[in-house]
Amino acid sequence: NAGVTQTPKFQVLKTGQSMTLQCAQDMNHEYMSWYRQDPGMGLRLIHYSVGAGITDQGEVPNGYNVSRSTTEDFPLRLLSAAPSQTSVYFCASSYSGSPLHFGNGTRLTVT
């Protein structure tokens, strides 16, 4: 049972480049979300989805896009990377009422 799988584990981008962080879960969870972790800031919610075709913004959504075409996948798109988006990104999933299950993260550096 793979749980929540995030790819890539590491990524370096130049300012202005775009990329997609992948997240897949095999637990049939309806809820999925993206967080970023920064020193002294904890985990901050970027976007979340309560089911296929339904997404909403979290605390820090600017500069990121998401879509949810299937239950399993919830990619996070950086449209034009900025140094302020240097962070560790975590994807999480859950079913209604259960705690979040996290992936192992993607460490992104924007130069």
Partner 1 sequence: DQQVKQNSPSLSVQEGRISILNCDYTNSMFDYFLWYKKYPAEGPTFLISISSIKDKNEDGRFTVFLNKSAKHLSLHIVPSQPGDSAVYFCAARRGLSGTYKYIFGTGTRLKVLA
| Positions in the binding site for partner 1 (CB under 8 A) | 4, 31, 33, 35, 40-45, 48, 50, 56, 58-59, 90, 92, 96-97, 99-105
85/89 with CB nearer partner 1? 89
CB neighbours of residue 82 within 10 Å:
14
Minimum CB–partner distance for residue 85 and partner 1 (Å): 19
| Residue number, 17 or 27, with CB nearest to partner 1 | 27
Considering the complex, what minimum distance in angstroms separates the CB of residue 29 from partner 1? 11
Q: How far is the CB of 45 from partner 1 (least distance, A)?
A: 6
| Nearer Cβ to partner 1 (74/90) | 90
CA angle centred on 32, ends 4 and 65, rounded to 5°: 110
Which residue is listed with tokens 């192992």?
A: 104
Of the candidates 13, 2, 25, 27, the one whose C-alpha atom is nearest the C-alpha of residue 77 is 13
Count the neighbouring beta carbons within 10 Å of the beta carbon of residue 73: 16
Tell me how far, at minimum, the Cβ of 92 lies from partner 1, in Å. Answer: 8
Question: In angstroms, what CA-CA distances link 106 with 51, 52, 77, 111?
Answer: 23, 23, 13, 16
